[in-house]
Amino acid sequence: MIITPLLILFLIVVFVLLFLFLNTVDKRKWLTAIISLVLTPFVYFYMFYPFINIISNYHHQKHFDSEAWLENPALRYEMIDNTIESNTLIGLSKQDITARLGKAEWLSWDDANKTHDTNIWNYGLGIEPGAFNDQKECVQIIFKDDKVVAVKPYQEEITFENEKE
């Protein structure tokens, strides 16, 4: 375990809260302090830390890896930020994109022509962890003259096939 200033701060907060709570039960300060000191790691690691992980949507960032992209579609959201920032896909041809990302999962709809637009490919990125997340991550890859010109992330509402509207 790495001891960081944030860890120390959170441990102090948990200790103070425990101390104040236990002080309402028993007025002996020395006993309350000892019990709080013993209980702080347990309360922190079994209550406070899991709660923070549930309500936050932090996730690890990874560099783009074609093999991981193809093998773990549900974890693609971990790679997309780095891919966009580093312009990894910009300038690649459709054949290169197919080799690195696989075949397009779906094509965007072109209202003007009433057909699918073969120059806008979409891929699902998975669902970012978090208790209040009701969106799935997706990315749009836009081609012009058979070369990638833009990579745009977006979110869609999570829907299930068995839900009735």
pLDDT in tens, 78-131: 999 889 999 999 999 999 999 999 999 999 888 888 899 999 999 999 988 777
pLDDT band at 52 (very low <50, low <70, confident <90, very high): confident
pLDDT for the residue numbered 45: 85
Judge whether residue 11 has pLDDT over 90. Answer: no
73 or 59, higher pLDDT: 73
pLDDT for the residue numbered 69: 92
Residue 165 within a domain: no
Are 45 and 107 part of one and the same domain?
A: no
**48-57 long-range Cβ contacts below 8 angstroms, 24+ apart:** 48/10, 48/14, 49/10, 54/130, 54/131, 55/130, 55/131, 55/132, 56/130, 57/128, 57/129, 57/130, 57/133
Are 147 and 100 part of one and the same domain?
A: yes
Global pTM value: 0.68
Tell me the two tokens of residue 152: 């745009």
Rounded average pLDDT over 37-53: 83
Closest to 147 in 3D by CA, of 70, 66, 74, 87: 87
Are 36 and 78 part of one and the same domain?
A: no
Give the whole-angstrom CA distance, residue 43 versus residue 11.
9
What is the sign of the dihedral through the CA atoms of 29, 35, 37 and 41? negative
| Structural domain harbouring 24 | 5-55
Give the whole-angstrom CA distance, residue 21 versus residue 31.
13
Are 110 and 33 part of one and the same domain?
A: no
Rounded average pLDDT over 70-78: 90
Are 130 and 109 part of one and the same domain?
A: yes
| Averaged pLDDT of the chain | 87
Are 72 and 144 part of one and the same domain?
A: yes
pLDDT for the residue numbered 57: 65
Cα 3 to its chain centre, rounded Å, is 24
Are 39 and 100 part of one and the same domain?
A: no
Are 47 and 89 part of one and the same domain?
A: no
Are 41 and 111 part of one and the same domain?
A: no
pLDDT digits (tens, 9 = 90+) for 120-165: 999 999 988 777 778 899 999 999 999 999 999 999 998 877 766 5
